[in-house]
């Protein structure tokens, strides 16, 4: 399998989100929300977006279950090449200055871990209010609902993308762009993968890689649903 990011519909929707946040008028708030189930490609899309912007032109932080306001700020400081400053307010000021000077948007991945922590969420709002640079929160299904309870932050969300399951044309794009050039997966098998994966990119790629490996081992250049039969495509739990 080739290593590259396929510009499927969810990826393009996030690009549009970012363009809208960056090109918004001064009366529109600038917080974005990207949400969807695990394995749908959110983190990958974020990395791609940041590459489009130029890695030095954005701040990316991933949140952890154990995060505190201090560990969260320390990670942003590290991204900016600095040690934590105390009292914490100094670190916030430092981040605000850098975001303003360099017009840096802030991307916060795995935001589910911090959405329940008022202090961190209020700090994010402070960073936004002091810079008005785009802030994009990324998380799973629950995040939109949980943010809706934080009115002050929720009111500042002007752009959002809910990741959709891959459709057949997306699965087609993954196969066409990632598989070894010698190998074709027939449409009926692609549709089978789509159905069985529930449109989850991680599973789709696992399945394609398995098929690719088997095709190479068996010297086949096209694999159909008939060839594949009911061999497993990825680990499934059946009740």
Q: Interface with Mg ion includes 43 (CB under 5 A)?
A: yes
Going by C-alpha positions, the residue among 34, 35, 124, 122 that lies closest to residue 75 is 124
Residues 27-56 that bind ligand ATP (CB under 6 A): 38-44
CB-based closest residue to Mg ion: 43
Grouping H, G, I as helix, E, B as strand and the rest as coil, residue 185 is: strand
Q: Interface with ligand ATP includes 172 (CB under 6 A)?
A: no
Q: Interface with ligand ATP includes 228 (CB under 6 A)?
A: no
Identity of the residue, 4 or 151, whose beta carbon is nearer to ligand ATP in the bound complex: 4
Sheet with 59-62, side-by-side order of all strands? 59-62, 106-109, 135-139, 31-35, 157-162
Minimum distance, C-beta of residue 166 to ligand ATP, in the bound complex (Å)? 9
Q: Interface with ligand ATP includes 199 (CB under 6 A)?
A: no
From residue 145, alpha-carbon distances to 39, 136, 229 in Å are 20, 16, 41
CB-based closest residue to ligand ATP: 41
Identity of the residue, 106 or 201, whose beta carbon is nearer to ligand ATP in the bound complex: 201
Minimum distance, C-beta of residue 234 to Mg ion, in the bound complex (Å)? 18
* Distance between CA atoms of residues 203 and 187, nearest Å: 17
* Distance between CA atoms of residues 171 and 201, nearest Å: 8
How many residues touch ligand ATP under the rule CB under 6 A: the total is: 15
Minimum distance, C-beta of residue 216 to ligand ATP, in the bound complex (Å)? 20
């Amino acid at each position: 399998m080739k290593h590259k990011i396929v510009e499927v519909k969810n990826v393009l929707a996030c690009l549009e989100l970012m363009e809208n946040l960056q090109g918004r008028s001064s009366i529109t708030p600038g917080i974005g929300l990207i949400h969807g189930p695990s394995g749908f490609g959110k983190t990958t899309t974020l990395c791609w977006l940041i590459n489009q912007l130029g890695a030095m032109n954005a701040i990316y932080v991933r949140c952890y279950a154990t995060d505190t306001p201090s560990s969260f700020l320390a990670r942003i400081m590290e991204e900016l090449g600095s040690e934590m400053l105390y009292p914490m307010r100094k670190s916030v000021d430092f981040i605000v200055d850098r975001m303003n000077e360099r017009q840096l948007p802030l991307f916060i991945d795995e935001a589910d871990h911090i959405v329940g922590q008022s202090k961190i969420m209020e700090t994010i709002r402070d960073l936004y209010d002091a810079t008005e640079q785009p802030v994009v929160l990324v998380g799973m299904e629950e995040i939109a609902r949980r943010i809706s309870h934080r009115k002050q932050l929720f009111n500042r969300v002007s752009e959002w993308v809910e990741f959709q399951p891959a459709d057949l044309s997306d699965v087609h794009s993954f196969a066409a762009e990632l598989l070894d050039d010698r190998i074709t997966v027939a449409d009926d098998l692609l549709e089978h993968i789509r159905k069985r994966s529930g449109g989850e990119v991680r599973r789709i790629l696992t399945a394609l890689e398995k098929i690719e490996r088997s095709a190479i081992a068996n010297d086949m250049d096209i694999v159909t649903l008939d060839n594949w039969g009911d061999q497993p495509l990825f680990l499934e739990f059946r009740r």
